Structure 1
Amino acid sequence: MPSHNMNTVLIYVEKYKKWVTSNPQLAGDIESTVKWLSYFTAGRINNSTLMSELVYSMSNLLVLFNDRIINANTQVETKLPKYHSKIRIWLTVLEYSEVLLEISASKLWGETGKWLIIVILQAFKSVMRLLLVHRYKERVTQSPPIPPIKRDKISDKVETIEKDGFALKRSKKVVRKVNSGGCSQFRSWAPIPPLGIDDQQTTIDLTPNKKIILAETLYIIKPLLHLGCVSVSGQKQWKSWFLSLIIDLASLKLYSNETKAVTLRKEEFDEISRRRVALLLYILRSPFYDNYSRMKIYALLKMLSRNVPLARMVTDPIIKYLPHWQSTYFYMWSS
């Protein structure tokens, strides 16, 4: 009986994999709907913080799971070493679920349990990211390490593969059909590009640079240095705030100096740009938020609510939930 049930489950799993591979855009729409449910549940039911984080984490993990299915069925197998790939998967899973784990620990064991989990998670993340940089020679670690696939491009490429080629069962290598492309004099004999592979990856020099590695190392160990400073000086103190800001600025300065001589991949450039924009989040971190930005942000939101038509629909929920968001998402300088 258990064997029969397992076979039934495997059959449904295979059907689900085929459906996701054939309908990547529709799967993406469903994932987005599930993610929006996390915002809808916030503040509307008991234990809304835990519930909204659970829904949000599950939606992101669903995206990761579906992307892995699409990769396995329609893309050339990754050239990454086995353990390199596993580290990136575990870091992505952890990044999607770390806030949920922290909130759960807080509810089960109080503040002491929450900060113990934070230290364990940040130490694990830092060690794994340092392995990516120093062992596997990644220059810039992405956040998340495995970004979501662009489903609209996947749909177009799936149609191209089905029309002009086919994927080999074992290697997943895409082979162009002999009768594809019309007349032979106009037919392209170039291989069909694999799904999700950026052309820049094959043309840009990926040789590690010592100063770029130093910049990335500083960024990776920043959460641990911040936690160490918090343990000495206490929470919501200027020392930890300034320490993290200085490390971020030093890391970005090193990148800025070296990128004049080193060409970055698009993914690396986008990640560094994201980190520059993330500097704006320092206005939401204590003690700067408590002493300076909180009243100004509330004043701006109330002004927009009074003077801009329909703005109240957006500003009122922000005013209501900003204290919760600030205390939930902005007490850590996570890498």
Structure 2
Amino acid sequence: MASSKDVKKTLVQWCEDYKRWIAKNPNLVSDIESTVKYVSFFTAGRLNSSTLASEFVYSLPNLMVLFNDQIIRASRYSELKLPSLQSKLKIWLTVIDYTEALFEVSAKKLWGEAGRWFIISLIQLLKVVMRLILVFRYKERITQTPAVPPLNREKLNNNNDGMQASKDAFSLKRSGKVIRTVRSSASQTRTWAPPASTSTVESEELENNVTIESLKKSLLIAETIHILKPLVHLGCLSLSGPKNWNPWLLSFLIDLTSLKLFSKETSLTGEEREEICRRRIGLLLYILRSPFYDNCSRMRIYHMLEFVSRSIPLAKLIAEPIARYLPHWQNTYFYMWSS
């Protein structure tokens, strides 16, 4: 019994040491994460015969980044916390985004096509419900993908001086007004000018967590139809079949309608504009989605890759693997519900 307690105590100590090391060495952690990502990209192609292993290797570095980011956020910005349910929803949404292909491939291997489509439908239903809760309960105007974006470690380090300034001042959560602490008032170098903002990163965190009371109806409609698009596409797909153009066209029209409504809004924040830009770029993926890919773009893409491989020195090293693995990628990733 004593040995099991010792093992548990040792594991807890290792976890605490790991958290402290992550918090103190964000640059080194970023380098390790980048190395793991590059290895996963290389290995995914080599393990094409084992799709399940490829998906696991691809998901692992993303989950590692999410886990380490949460440790860094907790250690440096412990005073900036979302409501517990909202925070958990965002974390679980991000985990699902990183692992949904892994679950899909696992279901297909275990239960065949029927199991695969059941898991796809279940995952998309969960994502839709969680995103609608974020919009209607927590008044988020635009839900990000991933819901918890990777922490900008470089900006974090550039704002270390701002962290020191935060010891002499703090920001009110509602108004964002910067207040000087009593301790700082005794300083000989005291000035009567208002203190500077604690840090750019903290300001961004506060801006993201502000509940916007006046949620415009047009924004609500635009985000709601974007969130519901996966279920609409899956429903249409089940009725008309994968080779029919109706699901493809319906999803494309939903995306265009949502983006059109967002384009009329002028009060978007920087992060909201970045997400809208990402969705606009995502429209290009429609050329890789069936049935457009099967009927229109597939041969053109292969001809382009072949031309690049012949015409540009060393391009063959990149173009040929892309051409070889494109059928697998197209069949695994380029769905209407993945954007």
* TM-score (normalised: structure 1): 0.89
1:164–1:181 CA contact under 8 A, matched in 2: no
> CA separation of 1:162/1:5 partners in 2, compared to 1, >3 Å: closer, same or farther?
farther
1:211-290 pair list within 5 angstroms = 211-257=218-264, 259-260=265-266, 263-290=267-294
> CA separation of 1:160/1:331 partners in 2, compared to 1, >3 Å: closer, same or farther?
closer
Q: Distance in 1 between matches of 2:186 and 2:32?
A: 34
Relative CO higher for 1 or 2, CA cutoff 8 Å, sep ≥ 6?
1
1:114-193 pair list within 5 angstroms = 114-158=116-160, 160-161=162-163, 165=167, 178=184, 183-184=189-190, 189-190=195-196, 192-193=198-199
Counterpart of 1:80 in structure 2: which amino acid?
Answer: L
Alpha-carbon shift at residue 3 of structure 1 (Å): 1.1
Q: Distance in 2 between matches of 1:24 and 1:202?
A: 22
Instruction: Say yes or no: does 1:294 pair with 2:298.
Output: yes
> CA separation of 1:182/1:101 partners in 2, compared to 1, >3 Å: closer, same or farther?
farther
> CA separation of 1:105/1:192 partners in 2, compared to 1, >3 Å: closer, same or farther?
same
Q: Distance in 1 between matches of 2:308 and 2:33?
A: 32
Alpha-carbon shift at residue 203 of structure 1 (Å): 12
1:142–1:271 CA contact under 8 A, matched in 2: yes
Deviations 1:222-256 (A, max 9, x none): 00010001110111320100010010011111111
Deviations 1:242-278 (A, max 9, x none): 0100100111111112x14xx1111111001100000
> CA separation of 1:267/1:163 partners in 2, compared to 1, >3 Å: closer, same or farther?
closer
Relative to structure 2, which stretch is displaced further, 71-80 or 119-128? 71-80
1:154–1:196 CA contact under 8 A, matched in 2: no
> CA separation of 1:16/1:159 partners in 2, compared to 1, >3 Å: closer, same or farther?
farther
Alpha-carbon shift at residue 26 of structure 1 (Å): 1.2
Instruction: Say yes or no: does 1:198 pair with 2:179.
Output: no
Instruction: Say yes or no: does 1:328 pair with 2:336.
Output: no
2:251–2:336 CA contact under 8 A, matched in 1: no
Decide which of 82, 85, 102 is 1:83's aligned counterpart: 85
> CA separation of 1:203/1:325 partners in 2, compared to 1, >3 Å: closer, same or farther?
closer
Q: Distance in 2 between matches of 1:39 and 1:248?
A: 29
Aligned residues: 328
Q: Distance in 2 between matches of 1:243 and 1:272?
A: 19
2:197–2:203 CA contact under 8 A, matched in 1: no
* TM-score (normalised: structure 2): 0.88
Partner-residue secondary structure (3-state), 1:147: coil
Deviations 1:177-207 (A, max 9, x none): 7499995459974462374531882899933
* Equivalent residue number for residue 52 of structure 1: 54
1:301–1:319 CA contact under 8 A, matched in 2: yes
Q: Distance in 1 between matches of 2:258 and 2:186?
A: 50
Counterpart of 2:334 in structure 1: which amino acid?
Answer: F
Q: Distance in 1 between matches of 2:254 and 2:96?
A: 23
* Equivalent residue number for residue 314 of structure 2: 310
> CA separation of 1:237/1:181 partners in 2, compared to 1, >3 Å: closer, same or farther?
farther
Q: Distance in 1 between matches of 2:26 and 2:193?
A: 29
Deviations 1:120-140 (A, max 9, x none): 000010011011111111100
Deviations 1:27-59 (A, max 9, x none): 111111112222111242474422221122111
1:76–1:195 CA contact under 8 A, matched in 2: no
Decide which of 106, 119, 124 is 2:108's aligned counterpart: 106
* Equivalent residue number for residue 319 of structure 1: 323
Percent identity at matched positions? 50
Q: Distance in 2 between matches of 1:92 and 1:17?
A: 21
Alpha-carbon shift at residue 164 of structure 1 (Å): 7.8
Unaligned runs of 5+ in 1: none
> CA separation of 1:196/1:322 partners in 2, compared to 1, >3 Å: closer, same or farther?
farther
Unaligned runs of 5+ in 2: 171-177
Q: Distance in 2 between matches of 1:295 and 1:194?
A: 48
Q: Distance in 2 between matches of 1:203 and 1:217?
A: 20
RMSD of aligned alpha carbons: 2.9
